[in-house]
Amino acid sequence: MQKYSDRLNRLSYSQTFVMSNKVREMRAEGIDVIGLTLGEPDFDVPDNIKQAAFDAINENYSHYSPVPGFLELRQAIARKLKRDNNLDYKPTQIVVSNGAKQSILNIMAAVVNDGDEVILPTPYWVSYDEMVKMMGGKSIFVQTSIESEFKITAQQLEEAITPKTKVLLFSSPCNPSGSFYTYEELKAIAEVVAKHPQITIISDEIYEYINYEGEHVSIASFPEVYEQTAVINGMSKAFAMTGWRIGYCAAPEWLAKGCDKVQGQMTSGANTVAQRASIVALDAGKEHYQYMVDSFKKRRDLIYDLMKDIPGFKVNKPKSAFYIFPDISFYIGKTLKGKEIKNSDDFAMFLLEEAKVASVGGVSFGDVNCIRFSYASSEKDITEAMRRIKECLASC
Ligand code: PMP
Ligand code: GLU
């Protein structure tokens, strides 16, 4: 009989997509549900980027690109890394992929052996642990809580490192917590990693531009770990280009070569039209897209103000990305409208069924106490969603 592989059986479905598909199904049944599930900008692709894509089609960019991406795009990425992050990378250190998701997976495939340990500051983005499993590695979870803004300390990291540690993988700004690490915090982490030359840092900076309160710092900018760091970024969040599937990594040359080798066998590289448009997207500079960040900030303020008044929700004000991650442990162990709430996934399901508001439970982010709301939605939907939740809980 044909069977799935053990590798596939180890995997879970991506909960972000599971919950957003549920919203789609419920709507198709005529149910009025508000979806605050998937993390993607609700803006259209800016016109300058669209025009560059039309031009690329008319100029017949229809053949395979080099596996790591067009040289002109890798040069534009190098310019961006210098301009925004004061980082020096040569095009040979950059690999463009089908979204940042693939960029992360390429590096994991390039460095993780069976049984290798990958440190995941927790909560982490849903796909990290699954990627570790895919590569045969072992995730080591370093727990945080809302009190520490969901950030690990250098000392916690030091305690988690063993001779088997291969990778430290984290996002700053963070999905799902909305926190970001400051210069001092990253410096302390860099100093720890520098003492362990076998470790590769995968620094996922895809929410770099969506930062309301501070300066984005890349851990690669600390010289002591430049050679140990792979910077991940992409077009999805900053330029509202989620469906165009362009991400990249910038890394030491040997690691970029490893990604090129993996990618050459897996996907042959990224979509050529989207690559050409990405050059224009990057070169326009951050200010060109500030209107989206300003709008997310307004919505951050709105959802925070409304959510902090919901009984049993402990919330910190997220400083970046477009997620809010309240601690709802007050409800765990209770029975609400006949439904037993054993963890945050049960609570998210309860809100979906009873309040018709969709979020993503925290379990797949490694956190049983919190749930994630994406607020890249209209102010009207945010306001109505918080009203529904408050009313539903008041009637329990
Ligand atoms: N990293 C993080 C933290 C994310 O939230 C996402 C979500 N899309 C990605 C990487 C992947 O982005 P993409 O593949 O769309 O570039
Ligand atoms: N990154 C987004 C999220 O966390 C999109 C979905 C995904 O890639 O998992 O919702």
Strands 34-35, 357-358: pairing kind: parallel
Q: Using an 8 Å Cβ cutoff, are 333 and 314 in contact? A: no
Q: Which ligand does the CA of 104 lie closest to?
A: 1
Place of tokens 């939605």: 377
How confident is the model over 233-278, as pLDDT tens digits? 999 999 999 999 999 999 999 999 999 999 999 999 999 999 999 9
- Over the chain, what is the mean pLDDT? 97
Predicted local confidence at residue 62, as pLDDT: 96
Residue 60 CA to ligand 2 centre (angstroms): 32
- The string of pLDDT tens digits covering residues 211-231 is 999 899 999 999 999 999 999
Q: What is the DSSP string of 50-87?
A: HHHHHHHHHTT--SPPPTT--HHHHHHHHHHHHHHH--
Q: 4: pLDDT confidence band, cut at 50, 70 and 90?
A: very high
CA 335–ligand 2 middle distance (angstroms): 30
Domains contained in the chain, CATH given: 6-44+289-394 (3.90.1150.10), 47-288 (3.40.640.10)
Find out whether the beta carbon of 199 lies less than 6 Å from any atom of ligand 2.
no
pLDDT tens track for 329-385: 999 999 999 999 999 999 999 999 999 999 999 999 999 999 999 999 999 999 999
Cα of 221 vs centre of ligand 1, distance in Å, is: 22
Task: Give the model confidence (pLDDT) of 144-186 as tens digits.
Answer: 999 999 999 999 999 999 999 999 999 999 999 999 999 999 9
**pLDDT range class, residue 188, cuts 50, 70, 90:** very high
Point out the ligand 2 atom lying closest to the alpha carbon of residue 127.
Answer: 9
Residue 282, pLDDT score: 98
pLDDT band at 310 (very low <50, low <70, confident <90, very high): very high
Taking only the tens place, the pLDDT of each residue in 194-214 is 999 999 999 999 999 999 998
Beta bridge partners of 324: 373
> pLDDT confidence of 134, banded at 50, 70, 90?
very high
Element (DSSP H or E) covering residue 231? strand 229-234
Find the 206 Cα to ligand 1 centroid distance in Å. Answer: 7
pLDDT at 55: 98
Which residues neighbour 60 within 8 Å (Cβ) at sequence distance 6 or greater?
Answer: none
Output the residue whose Cα is nearest ligand 2's atom 1: 39
The predicted pLDDT at position 197 comes to 98
Atom of ligand 1 nearest to the CA of 246: 16
Query: What pLDDT is recorded for position 85?
Result: 98
Q: Please tell me the predicted confidence (pLDDT) of residue 37.
A: 96
* Per-residue pLDDT, 277: 98
The pLDDT of 82-105, averaged and rounded, is: 98
Closest among 366, 364, 371, 365 to 350, alpha carbons compared: 371
**Please, what is the end-to-end C-alpha distance for the chain in angstroms?**
49
Q: Which of 337, 361, 333, 366 is nearest to 349 (CA)?
A: 361
Predicted pLDDT at 103: 98
